[in-house]
Every structure is written in C-alpha cells, then in structure tokens.
A and B are shown apart, each in its own frame.
Chain A
Amino acid sequence: DTEVTQTPKHLVMGMTNKKSLKCEQHMGHRAMYWYKQKAKKPPELMFVYSYEKLSINESVPSRFSPECPNSSLLNLHLHALQPEDSALYLCASSQVGRGGQETQYFGPGTRLLVL
C-alpha cells in the first residue's frame, strides 16, 4: 500500500481565517513533506520532516506553520493567508536511510482558495 491521504480535498478561506490541512500515511515512512503547486507548474518544496523533526524549511512565510504530531501525521496550519497563496498543497512521504533510494509518494492534494 502506497497511500497518502489528505483532508480536506478543497478549502476556501478568507484572509483572516485560521485553518489546517491534514496528511496521513501508514507506510511506516519517517520523512514527510509539504509542497505547494501553482497551476501549470511543478511542485515547490515547503517543508521536510524527518523522524518528526523539522529538517528543511524552504524560506516559507510564517503564515504557514507545519506540525508533525507523530510519525503518521503531518499538519499545515494556515493563518492570515494572501490570495497569492491559493494553490494545490501536496503532502508526500518517504522512507529514510535507504542510501539515497528513498521514493516519495504523494497524496491527492488539498486545493486551497484564499479570498
């Protein structure tokens, strides 16, 4: 099973709202990722968690706040977003420590619209 699930599938929020995106995997993967994808563009890496610790933050604005409460869950908390933050947010997971041969598996994404 190579399934990564994400909720919600769609989200509309105002610029003053607080919302959260959720990602879950049960493959025993110890690395989890958040990507942002704009239309007709490749995914852009936002955050990487390895063994539940934040290992990479690609200079993402503080209005995006990641959280990894356990090895199966990854959250992305959203606050005071801007319309330009509207995008598809993708979660991925992979094994760690396979000599570089880790493969990332992606979820279906949450399509976010900020009004």
Chain B
Amino acid sequence: AQSVTQLDSQVPVFEEAPVELRCNYSSSVSVYLFWYVQYPNQGLQLLLKYLSGSTLVKSINGFEAEFNKSQTSFHLRKPSVHISDTAEYFCAVKENAGNMLTFGGGTRLMVKP
C-alpha cells in the first residue's frame, strides 16, 4: 500500500519570499505524482503532475516540483510567492495500476504581506 507524508501542516511565509512544501511518499511499485491546490471554500484544482519524462515539472503560475525517485520525494517550490497563493496544498500519489489517489495530509500555505 502507498502512503504520502506532507511534513509541514502549515507554512507561513512573507510575500515575495521563496517557499518549499515538502512531500514524501512510500510505495512498492511505480507511482504517478500530483499536487492539487484548494483555495478557501473551493474544490481541488490540479496544480501540476509528474507522469513520465523530465523529473522537473512546472505550472503556469510559477510553481515547480521535482520528482526524486531515490529520496521518494516530490517537493513543491516557488521562488517568489504572492498573497493569492494562500491556500491548502495536497500532494497525491497514484500507483501505475488502478485509479485510486492517496492524498497527503495537506499543507496550509499562509502568505503574509
């Protein structure tokens, strides 16, 4: 069975500072990796995903994540955050067979002016 750990439940950061949200997973088989973002009172939006190919994946709003197989990690980074990035971020993994997602506990990113 797979599991996902998001080590930080909350990450406070000042506007325009860099941020890293950590995600580690465990699985006995190959996995696909996802980051979803949930803004207050909204559903989940897909932020970025790693399925194959380049281990560095990027979103249109400046976030990026790197799949590190040896460290079983998929950390999310942004070099300069905005107030509008304040949200809950969920890391999720899916084994290469089946269609079930396993979510981490979530990290609340709080961007302060």
A binding-site residues for B, Cβ under 8 Å: 2, 4, 6, 31, 40-43, 45, 48, 50, 56, 88, 90, 92, 94, 96, 99-109, 111
Are B44 and A90 in contact, CB atoms less than 8 angstroms apart? yes
From A40, A88, A100, A107, contact of B97 by CB (8 A): A100
- Given A40-B106, A106-B36, also A31-B99 (CB < 8 A): yes
Are A43 and B99 in contact, CB atoms less than 8 angstroms apart? no
B binding-site residues for A, Cβ under 8 Å: 32, 34, 36, 41-46, 49, 51-52, 88, 90, 94-101, 103-106, 108
Are B90 and A109 in contact, CB atoms less than 8 angstroms apart? no
In the A-B complex, the 10 residue pairs with the smallest Cβ-Cβ separation, listed nearest first, are: A100-B96, A42-B103, A106-B44, A108-B43, A109-B43, A106-B43, A101-B51, A107-B43, A42-B106, A102-B99
